[in-house]
Structure 1
Amino acid sequence: MLIKLFTLYVYLQATLCGCAPDKRHSDFVRLRKAYKVEVTKIGRLDRRIAESSGLAAASDSTFWTHGDGGTANALYLVNLKGELLQTVPLPVVNQDWEELMSDKKGNLYIGDFGNNANTRRNLQVYRVLPETGTVTDTIHFSYADQAAFPPPRECRNFDAEASFYAHDSLYLFTKSRALWQRQTTRYSLPAKAGRYALAPQESLRLNSPLTAAAISPDQQQFALLGYGRLYLFEVLPGAGISFKGQRYCLPLGRTGQAEAILYLSPQALLLTNEKGTLYLVTLHPRP
């Protein structure tokens, strides 16, 4: 109950405040200064898909998704209208699946690393062949900078719901549960079986806790989705995945509590929210 109340409080505050705190504290630019932006409702997920919590492309017009923690142990193939095309059962428990990623070989990576209370010691990512529902690898990890389970409330920054695949690695961005310390920390781990202790790589103050992440097909930009806002980061040549490039913020109050994001193209992003609504965000660079 306390976690739900905290989530509601932060969501309402983030939605009402817009991007002003992020501009003030972390040098974000309003996205609409650089792009003409359209946010359009395009569909609704089939009712059999509960709480879509991750998205990965299957083709130009279809995608994979899965439910949040406690829902069915399955992947769902869906089209852009939200129609369910296929259900693939998986032989692993959905303890708290929070993110879905893909590589160029057709593998999917399911992030079973939701950690609301910051108490989990079994954080893991499953590599899956979606056509057969076969789990081919399990990637185990821990946070090297977490010493207590749970840590003090002001240090609860070891929950993750946002991640993507790039350069043979998985990049994780934490969701802060510390009420007065709003930030995300970036970690990375190899996209292969093993046990890894992840050292923090960089942190950025954000006014909104993060619920999802995605990287553009050309890997020139990545997106972080928060409560009531979308953050975009340009990737600097030679800098890899980092917060160093130009960054933009877009308020997204009308989309509700969005939980998953996917680039359909460098100029189009698909969002799903906790109620199953599909939104398309299109970006048109201003001259």
Structure 2
Amino acid sequence: MLKKSILITSVIVFSIITAVVGSSIYTLYSKKVVSVDPKLKEVSGIEFDKHKRLWAINDSGDEPKLYRLNDDGSIAKEVLVTNAKNIDWEDMTQNKFGHFFLGDFGNNKNDRKWLTIYKIENPIDIKTNTTEAEIIKFTYPELDGSPIQPDQRNYDLEAFVAFGRHLYLFTKNRTEPFDGITNVYKVGDHAANFDAQLIDSFKTCTTMEKLCWITSAALSPDRKKLALLDSTSIWLFENFKGDKFFSGDVFKIDLGIVTQKEAITFYDDNTIAFTDEEFKGIGGNVYFIKLDQVTKVKVQRSHPQPQ
């Protein structure tokens, strides 16, 4: 009798787990639009140009190139940034004029002193397969050359947006123990050397760092919504004042199963696109969500003082 009870319990538990996993898989893949060309297996940033065509960049290891995609995910055009290097390209954003910014600021070991952002012309104006960038350099004034302690390793970056005449950088937290805080830094949007100004912080979660890392950011075209991406969710900020992005309402949108989600952007004020990297046959896709058709869970704002 005991063995039979254990067997029944095991079947019930297995069925519940299967249903939960199945639901999570459906949550993600029901939003899939297209798979991207295998050459873009490590997409780290995406943007739509003014003609609503999707552009993408690869993570480190690729040439300093942008790729424009066809509707079927194949590559329509490649543009080489002739005066750039791809040390660790991690995100792409644009300002209201359509200039693209490419963030070469990945800093996994928290040991890069100077980080780089490349600013290029509006891609719809690039007539050839090459372009040249303005070069924006920045450093963290808090760093004095001393070894960074494990609980202070919050100088990696994979996310930024353009707002007004500035760029806002959201850190990828690598603290030990992990405290879940993303810091926001501010630099200018033009060629110069900047000390990044720490202006705000937001705590995502502290359960597992790989589930809470911020890997990309985007502002809606009307500049009224900010989206931050992690491996399972979109953090959506609305009703904020000026550049105080965390001063308004905060919502969380479940994206289903864990994949390496690395890039996010807005197609329009109600539509978000995001991508994940391909890993062992999983991922490598573009997904779309409509904000008026998904469940947005309002969360209690965790708004710590900048660390």
TM-score bin, normalised by smaller chain: 0.7 to 0.9
State how 1:1-287 maps to structure 2 within 5 Å. Answer: 40-91=31-82, 92-129=84-121, 130=123, 131=126, 132=128, 133-148=130-145, 150-180=147-177, 181-207=179-205, 208-236=212-240, 238-254=241-257, 256-275=259-278, 276-284=284-292
| Deviation of the 1:149 alpha carbon | 6.2
Residue identity matched to 2:247: K
Unaligned runs of 5+ in 1: 1-36
Aligned residue pairs total 250
1:271 and 1:242 map into 2 onto residues whose CA distance is: 20
| SS across alignment from 1:48 | helix
Residue identity matched to 1:114: G
2:196 and 2:80 map into 1 onto residues whose CA distance is: 30
| Deviation of the 1:219 alpha carbon | 0.8
Percent of aligned pairs with the same residue?
A: 31
1:218 and 1:48 map into 2 onto residues whose CA distance is: 32
Q: Which moved more, 1:59-68 or 1:191-200?
A: 59-68
- Alpha-carbon RMSD: 2.1
Deviations 1:58-92 (A, max 9, x none): 24541111100112221000134312110112222
Q: TM-score, length-normalised on structure 2?
A: 0.76
Residue identity matched to 1:268: T
| Deviation of the 1:103 alpha carbon | 2.1
CA change 1:80–1:230 in 2 (3 A) is farther
Structure of greater Rg: 2
Contact 1:235-1:241 at 8 Å conserved across structures: no
1:164 and 1:149 map into 2 onto residues whose CA distance is: 30
Contact 1:39-1:281 at 8 Å conserved across structures: no
| SS across alignment from 2:151 | helix
| Deviation of the 1:273 alpha carbon | 0.5
2:248 and 2:30 map into 1 onto residues whose CA distance is: 24
- Over 4 Å off, 4+ runs: none
| Deviation of the 1:39 alpha carbon | 5.3
2:269 and 2:30 map into 1 onto residues whose CA distance is: 15
1:45 and 1:149 map into 2 onto residues whose CA distance is: 42
| Deviation of the 1:160 alpha carbon | 0.7
| Deviation of the 1:263 alpha carbon | 0.3
Residue identity matched to 1:125: I
Q: TM-score, length-normalised on structure 1?
A: 0.81
| Deviation of the 1:122 alpha carbon | 2.5
Contact 1:39-1:282 at 8 Å conserved across structures: no
Contact 1:213-1:222 at 8 Å conserved across structures: yes
Contact 2:67-2:75 at 8 Å conserved across structures: yes
Deviations 1:79-114 (A, max 9, x none): 343121101122221000011111233321110000
Contact 2:79-2:131 at 8 Å conserved across structures: no
Give the number of the structure whose residues are more often strand, by fraction.
Answer: 1
Contact 1:55-1:100 at 8 Å conserved across structures: yes
Between 1 and 2, higher relative CO (CA 8 Å, sep ≥ 6) is seen in 1
| Deviation of the 1:284 alpha carbon | 1.1
1:268 and 1:125 map into 2 onto residues whose CA distance is: 26
Deviations 1:241-281 (A, max 9, x none): 42111001122233611100010011111011011211111
| SS across alignment from 2:89 | coil
Residue identity matched to 2:285: T
